[in-house]
Amino acid sequence: MNLVKIRIAISLLVFTLFLLLFLGGGKISVFLSPILLPLQFVPALMRILTQPEILFIISLTTILIISLIFGRVYCSFLCPLGMLQDIISALSRKSGLLRPYTFRKPHNLLRYSILGLTIATLGIGFLSLVNLLDPYSITGRIITELGQPLLTWIYNASANLLKYLNVYLFPKETPYLPLWALSVAFCFLILILIMSHRTGRLYCNTLCPVGSFLGLLSRISIFQLSIDQNKCRECVRCEIVCKAGCIDPQKKNIDQSRCVNCFNCLEACPQSLIIYSPSFNKIKNDEWSPARRGFLIAAFAASGSFFLAFNSGTAGLRKIAHANDRLPITPPGSVSFAHFTCACIACNLCVSACPTNVITPSFLEYGITGLMQPLMNYQKSFCDYECNICGKVCPTGAILPLPLEEKKLTQIGEVKLIKEKCIVYVDKQNCGACGEVCPTHTINFTNKSNVLYPETDTRYCIGCGACEKACPTSPKSIVVRSNSIHKKAVQYIAAAKLPQPKKETSNDFPF
């Protein structure tokens, strides 16, 4: 059984599914999200912290158990960023640009500090570090913010050309991505490109908190790769194929905490002296290990942060009950500003799945604690009344799934009509762009000498922003203000008893 080939096959399949998840659009994302994402470490962890669900508890436990048995197989078989790096490394190698991998000393202080800090900040509801460093989120942002616009552009260009052949495709809207969000995704792509081109899985063994954590588990995993120290003749063939740079040919030792289980070394050894087997009888390395100290730091930070998480005071600070124009509006299903900002890891899956592109990534709109968490951008679009996709795809429970009927009555914000700016009130002429698109009858019109004046009844408003998007004035005369805790809107039922549809029977015309 060739483990390398199996790894390549599985990881290519998973990576393709990831591309589909983010680029396939609404239905495909909804289908793939519950299959792929429970098996992603950080999303599953966040889901358990915010909205424990049996599926996610099982999946995360599985990841942990697998890591304890087989080592960091997660990094090679399931992590989309790992696969992206492997693809880049493989391409670099094919093009002949890649220098051979060499053994590198571990950056233990760096990686365990990052791990400890990430866990600690996560515990107090400060998600920026997780958002920045989680490999799944990074991949999500790269695909959404760089891949999706490219794909849309190609699709629209082809649609435009196909018109000449009388084939009419509906064009896709180019998603709006703020420059800052785009820059972050772009910088990470460049960082990953350089790191993986030069040194393989360097990211995984320095910056990645998931990698560092699973590394701690794989130190004590049952199955480990090991070199037959007596027979090895230091040909370094294993060293030059090791993406993690964790094989030290001088000491004939493999650093288990950094090995990502790619199994390249198994194939490379001409004498098959590297074996992957249970490590019960192996001699433990009893040298002083900075990794062990790191483990202690991390464990300490973790326990402290979980304590903090349960007594979290920061979330309470953001619980402002009334509608507010300064807070960003969070997607329907996100319960409250506090719930959303404490659970969203900014993977941007909702951004790419949103059919109206109203969900856009932010940069600092949520403050320093919620870097890049997406928001409802009514300058650019509006929330489709008949859609609840974002809740269906969100892996962390930041946006909880809402049945469509419930979503239609979930008030994420409240409309405010500014009559001093409104054309109808200022110029005394018909406009009504807001009322035309309002799906909930929040906006009603009063007829005064044949001019129809808009009025709002916020009981019905769900804050979808259709009116704000449609309003022709700038600045807008009708705006949605955020509900920091989402409310329930009143179901509209026409006030007067309406006459039943009557059938025309007379044969007369009114002219």
Partner 1 sequence: MTEVQKTDRREFLKKGLSLGLVAGGAVILGKTDFLSAKETVTAMPDLVAVKNGEPDALFKKAIELMGGMRQFVKKGQTVVVKPNIGFPRKPEIGATTNPLLVKTIIEHCYKAGAKKVYVFDNVVSPTSSNARNCYKISGIEDAANAAGGIVAPADDFGYKEVKIPAARILTKTDIHELILNSDVFINVPVLKHHRSAHLSIAMKNLMGIVNNRKEYHLRGLDQCIADFCLYRKPDLNIVDAYRVLMSHGPSGPSDESSLQVELKKTLLLSRDIVAVDAAATKIFGKDPEDIEYIKFGHEQKIGNMNLKELKIVTYAM
Q: Which residues bind partner 1 (CB under 8 A)?
A: 26, 156, 159-160, 163, 166, 168-173, 355-357, 381-382, 384-386, 408, 423, 427, 429-433, 435-437, 439-441, 443-445, 450, 452, 454, 466, 469-470, 472-473, 491-494, 498-499, 501-505, 507-511
Q: Give the residue with the Cβ less far from partner 1, 89 or 440.
A: 440
Q: Which is nearer to partner 1, 220 or 452 (CB)?
A: 452
> Closest Cα to residue 298, out of 148, 112, 165?
112
From the CB of 431, what's the least distance to partner 1, in Å? 5
Contacts of 16 (CB under 8 A, 6+ apart): none
Residue 38's CB is within 10 A of a number of other CB atoms, namely 20
Q: How far is the CB of 288 from partner 1 (least distance, A)?
A: 60
Residue pair 330/463 in contact by the 8 Å Cβ criterion: no
Contact between 344 and 374 under an 8 Å Cβ cutoff? The reply is yes
Compute CA distances 184 → 55, 88, 142, 328, 375, whole Å: 32, 19, 9, 20, 16
Which CB atom, from 95 or from 449, has the smaller least distance to partner 1? Answer: 449
From the CB of 400, what's the least distance to partner 1, in Å?
A: 22
> What is the smallest separation between the CB atom of 196 and partner 1, expressed in angstroms?
35
137 vs 356, beta carbon nearer partner 1: 356
Quote the least distance from Cβ 312 to partner 1, whole Å.
Answer: 38
Which contiguous run of DSSP H or E holds residue 117?
Answer: helix 108-123
Beta bridge partners of 227: 274
Cβ nearer to partner 1, comparing 118 with 357: 357
Nearer to partner 1, 217 or 431 (CB): 431
CA quadruple 262, 118, 327, 315: dihedral sign:
positive
**Shortest distance (Å) from residue 412 CB to partner 1:** 17
- DSSP class of residue 243 equals T
Closest CA to 265 of 291, 292, 290, 236: 236
Q: Which is nearer to partner 1, 322 or 441 (CB)?
A: 441
* Beta carbon nearer to partner 1, 132 or 434: 434
H-type alpha helices, 414-472: 423-427, 433-437, 466-470
Q: Which is nearer to partner 1, 379 or 430 (CB)?
A: 430
Which tokens sit at 172? 């896709």
Nearest CA to 347 out of 63, 45, 53, 116 is that of: 45
CB of 416 to partner 1, least distance (A): 18
Radius of gyration of the chain (CA): 28
Residue 39 or 467 with smaller CB distance to partner 1: 467
- Give yes or no for a contact between 419 and 353, defined as CB atoms under 8 angstroms apart: no
Contact at 8 Å (CB) between 78 and 259? no
Cβ closer to partner 1: 209 or 331? 331
Kindly state the smallest distance separating residue 160's Cβ from partner 1, in Å.
5
DSSP 8-class letter at 322: S
Calculate helix-pair angle for 41-50, 135-142, nearest 10 degrees. 110
| Residue 249 to residue 291: CA distance in whole angstroms | 20
Our CB check for partner 1 shows the closer of 203 and 460 to be 460
Q: Report in angstroms how near the CB of residue 174 gets to partner 1 at its nearest.
A: 10
Written as six digits, the tokens of 246 are 């964790």
Query: Least distance from C-beta 465 to partner 1, angstroms?
Result: 12
Q: Decide if 25 contacts 355 (C-beta within 8 A).
A: yes
Minimum gap (Å) between residue 146 Cβ and partner 1: 20
Question: Least separation, in Å, of the C-beta of 170 and partner 1?
Answer: 4
Q: Give the tokens for residue 70.
A: 């087989």
How far is residue 138 from each of residues 18, 33, 146, measured CA to CA in Å?
A: 12, 16, 12
